Amino acid sequence: MTDHSIILEPGFIGKLSSTELTREINNDENYLAWKSGKLVFRETELEDVIDDLNRTFSTHIIHGDTKISDLKFTGTFYNQPLDSVVQVLGTVFNLEIEKRKNQIYLSVTGDR
């Protein structure tokens, strides 16, 4: 096995594939949200918002509706607990929020 290394500077991330290690500019503004407490979304598809929330809060938010994936959200949260963020999304998009065990389920309510 060959030893491969790269030097990462601020603003870069390393990516490992099965054959190589590469350095790329990190364009994900929420990459360190778990540490900074700041989440920023600009016309972000709700599917990606959910992915960021799952990664940031180590949670499991689930939706089973393709309509939810197509919605776009713009907003910023500073040190907000997960419940508050999910409540805002529920209000903005008229979503039903159901908590079961360690999971949060989102579904569309009413007509759009």
Set out the domains of the chain in order of their start, with CATH numbers.
Answer: 33-108 (3.55.50.30)
Integer distance in angstroms from the first to the last C-alpha of the chain?
Answer: 56
pTM above 0.85, yes or no: no
What is the spatial distance between Cα 53 and Cα 60, in angstroms, rounded to a whole number? 9
pLDDT at 77: 97
What is the spatial distance between Cα 44 and Cα 92, in angstroms, rounded to a whole number? 14
Residues contacting residue 110 through CB under 8 Å, at least 6 positions apart: 94
Number of H helices, E strands in the chain: 4, 7
Residues contacting residue 65 through CB under 8 Å, at least 6 positions apart: 106, 107, 108
Residues 33-91: pLDDT tens digits?
888 999 999 999 999 999 999 999 999 999 878 888 889 999 999 999 999 999 999 99
